[in-house]
């Protein structure tokens, strides 16, 4: 654990990617293989399920420190992170335990089956035997995450530098269905499991937001243009009579979409296709809010299948009958994709429409009209482009419709976590509903550090009530927020749900009298 703790410290004190890579390489050169595997697992979202409830840990911490609940909650609201709060409040350790990372993780996995009293004995013993940074990591292993500024690309580059193996191959190896107990470190890096794991997806090719004039892209004939859809980006894999569906978040979501599995099972070939899972009814694409009703369901009922049927809009083909097509051009892959669909027909899967246009000027009107049928805008793909791993500037661009905007007033503020734990960075906004305010969105991005500091000082002076880490504030500060879409919602008091809300600007020139009404917000749905 000490080596892992030192690695976390080395990563957290620098913003330089090369320094993070050097720290990772050093760890991989010195740590036990099982620890290396668990580091990769933790940094790629494969953390074991929570073995101990947070409320129990809170009770044990207050018992040890003899703090009243109000003071614990006040500390938590100041720190902003529960695991860090425990770490700071607990007394210094009296003992020492030296165990590697993988032993700690295995013990925590087994702890889930224990009684609450047995869990308490184990946790208190750990708290009394670990230094502050190790204790924080222990708390994070139980219930937190490892978002410490290491992207998957940085991790892969460190592994590539360590091993000399191509980064693309390593990226392919570490995503997908593996566990630290099912493979060795060397076999993971060398991809020994890839050919034997029929479910293995490929790393997704991603696009950059368009940041230049269309005319700067060159000849129109060099580009393939499609609509951009707002669903779940996914890969459907059919190998040896089995079907697997992976989301872009590297989750296996096969069981959530049985109708897709049934349709794909009838195809004659083996293949890997890339596309978008969408809620589609009567040949019309529904809103993402409708698709959300189908997500994370262990059992998909017949009623839900009928209410929210799904489809798959296919963008690309990556593999056909064991042949990897990713290094071929976009143009050639499209020919292969169209051939696959000529040989196999289904109503549930639909080829992404290629937009026919003569010059760049025609595309702006098409993009502006995209929201009318629940598209996010346009995708522009260079016909000669290969299927890259991740993002590569110049080949794929996403040109989204301009966001919707409304003016709102802040009514709640909450401190951030980690490095932002000392300032109020998370805000809840409201609009007018006759003679009172109704919450309409939460947002935490879009402001400068200077603005966040100014708002935090204002919140400290103007807070009305405290609810744990949340502060109710006077409805004075007005903001313009932007969002991608809007839909009616029974789950929200306002009756609406906004898609990807974020702060566009702080409107110091406006007062609460100038904010939008719930009626004007709902009117955006009809428009």
Is the pLDDT at 221 greater than 50, yes or no?
yes
Question: Per-residue pLDDT averaged across 197-213, rounded?
Answer: 86
DSSP assignment letter at 517: B
CATH 2.40.50.140 residue ranges for the chain: 404-526
Task: Convert the pLDDT of each residue in 64-76 to its tens digit.
Answer: 999 999 899 888 8
| CATH 3.30.470.30, the chain: domain bounds | 205-400
Among all chains, which residue has been given the structure tokens 């073995």? 51
Helices (H) and strands (E) in the chain — how many of each?
A: 19, 22
Q: What is the mean pLDDT of residues 518-527?
A: 86
Could you tell me if residue 81 is left (phi over 0), alpha (psi between -120 and 50 degrees) or otherwise beta? beta
Confidence band (pLDDT; 50, 70, 90) for 195? very low
Instruction: State how far the Cα of 64 lies from the Cα of 302, in Å rounded to an integer.
Output: 51
Name the pLDDT band for 146 (thresholds 50, 70, 90): low
Ranges of CATH 1.10.3260.10 domains, the chain: 2-143
Q: pLDDT band for position 499 (50/70/90)? A: confident
Structure tokens at 374: 């629940």
Lowest mean pLDDT among 169-183, 295-309, 321-335: 169-183
| Spatial distance between the Cα atoms of 206 and 228, rounded to a whole number of angstroms | 12
- Which H/E stretch holds residue 520? helix 518-526
- pLDDT-derived band at 486, boundaries 50, 70, 90: confident
The catalytic position among 20, 119, 140, 228 is 228
CATH architecture for residues 205-400: 2-Layer Sandwich (3.30)
pLDDT above 50: residue 196: no
The answer on pLDDT for 145 being more than 70 is: no
Q: Which SS3 state, helix, strand or coil, does residue 423 take?
A: coil
Give the C-alpha separation, 34 to 47, whole Å: 14
Cβ neighbours for 202, distance < 8 A, ≥ 6 positions apart: 172, 235, 272, 318, 319, 326, 387
| Position 454 confidence tier, pLDDT thresholds 50, 70, 90 | very high
Question: Is CATH 3.30.470.10 what the domain over 404-526 is classified as, yes or no?
Answer: no
Model confidence at 190, pLDDT cuts 50, 70, 90, reads confident
Band (147; pLDDT cuts 50, 70, 90): low
**Averaged pLDDT, 377-397:** 92
Average pLDDT over residues 352-356: 93
Rounded mean pLDDT, 102-106: 94
Mean pLDDT over all residues of the chain?
A: 89
Judged against a pLDDT cut of 80, whether residue 527 lies above it is answered with no
Least confident among 4-8, 166-170, 199-203, 433-437: 166-170
Mean pLDDT confidence for 505-515? 93
Alpha helices per DSSP H over 149-257: 152-163, 167-174, 185-190
Overall average pLDDT of the 140-148 stretch: 75
Model confidence band, residue 89 (pLDDT cutoffs 50, 70, 90): very high
Local structure of residue 13 (DSSP, 8 states): T
Mean pLDDT of 147-164: 85
Q: What is the pTM of this model?
A: 0.64
| 400-432 confidence digits (pLDDT tens) | 988 899 999 999 998 876 566 678 889 999 999
Q: For 492, which DSSP code?
A: S
Whether 161 sits among the annotated catalytic residues: the reply is no
Q: What pLDDT, on the 0 to 100 scale, is given for residue 350? A: 93
Query: What are the tokens at 41?
Result: 């697992």
Mean pLDDT on 273-278: 96
What distance in Å separates the CA atoms of residue 469 and residue 78, rounded to the nearest whole number?
7
Protein fold of 2-143: DNA ligase i, domain 1 (1.10.3260)
């Amino acid at each position: 654990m000490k080596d892992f703790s030192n690695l976390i410290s080395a990563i957290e004190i620098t913003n330089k990617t090369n320094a993070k890579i050097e720290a990772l390489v050093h760890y991989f050169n010195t740590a036990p293989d099982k620890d290396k595997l668990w580091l990769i697992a933790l940094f790629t979202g494969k953390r074991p399920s929570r073995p101990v409830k947070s409320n129990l840990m809170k009770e044990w911490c207050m018992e040890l420190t003899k703090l009243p609940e109000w003071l614990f909650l006040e500390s938590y609201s100041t720190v902003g992170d529960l695991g860090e709060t425990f770490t700071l409040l607990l007394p210094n350790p009296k003992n020492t335990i030296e165990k590697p990372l993988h032993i700690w993780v295995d013990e925590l996995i087994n702890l889930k089956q224990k009684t609450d009293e047995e869990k308490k004995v184990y946790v208190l013993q750990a708290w009394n035997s670990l230094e502050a940074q190790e204790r924080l990591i222990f708390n994070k292993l139980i219930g937190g995450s490892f978002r410490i500024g290491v992207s998957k690309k940085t991790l892969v580059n460190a592994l590539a530098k360590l091993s000399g193996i191509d980064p693309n191959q390593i990226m392919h190896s570490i995503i997908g269905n593996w566990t630290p107990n099912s493979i060795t470190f060397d076999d993971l890096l060398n991809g020994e499991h890839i050919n034997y794991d029929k479910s293995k997806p490929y790393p997704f090719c991603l696009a950059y937001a368009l940041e230049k004039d269309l005319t700067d892209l060159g000849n129109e004939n060099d580009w393939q243009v499609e609509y951009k859809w707002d669903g779940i980006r996914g890969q459907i894999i059919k190998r040896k009579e089995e079907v697997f569906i992976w989301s872009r978040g590297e989750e296996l979501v096969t069981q959530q979409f049985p109708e897709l599995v049934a349709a794909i099972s009838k195809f004659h070939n083996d293949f890997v296709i890339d596309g978008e899972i969408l809620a589609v009814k009567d040949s019309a694409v529904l809103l993402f809010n409708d698709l959300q009703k189908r997500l994370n369901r262990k059992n998909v009922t017949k009623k839900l299948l009928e209410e929210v049927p799904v489809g798959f809009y296919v963008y690309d083909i990556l593999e056909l009958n064991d042949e990897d097509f990713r290094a071929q051009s976009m143009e050639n892959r499209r020919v292969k994709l169209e051939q696959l669909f000529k040989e196999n027909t289904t109503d549930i899967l639909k080829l992404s429409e290629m937009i026919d246009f003569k010059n760049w000027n025609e595309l702006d009107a098409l993009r502006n009209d995209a929201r009318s049928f629940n598209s996010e805008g346009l995708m522009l793909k260079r016909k000669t482009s290969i299927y890259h791993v991740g993002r590569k500037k110049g080949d794929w661009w996403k040109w989204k419709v301009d966001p919707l905007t409304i003016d709102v007033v802040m009514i709640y503020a909450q401190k951030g976590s980690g490095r932002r734990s000392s300032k109020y960075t998370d805000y809840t906004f409201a609009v007018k509903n006759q003679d009172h305010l109704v919450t309409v969105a939460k947002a935490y991005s879009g402001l400068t550090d200077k603005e966040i500091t100014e708002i935090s000082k204002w919140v400290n002076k103007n807070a009305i009530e405290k609810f744990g880490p949340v502060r109710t504030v006077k409805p004075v500060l007005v903001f313009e927020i932007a969002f991608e879409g809007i839909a009616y919602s029974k789950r929200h008091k306002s009756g609406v749900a906004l898609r990807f809300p974020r702060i566009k600007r702080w409107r110091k020139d406006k007062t609460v009298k100038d904010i939008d009404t719930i009626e004007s917000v709902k009117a955006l749905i009809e428009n």
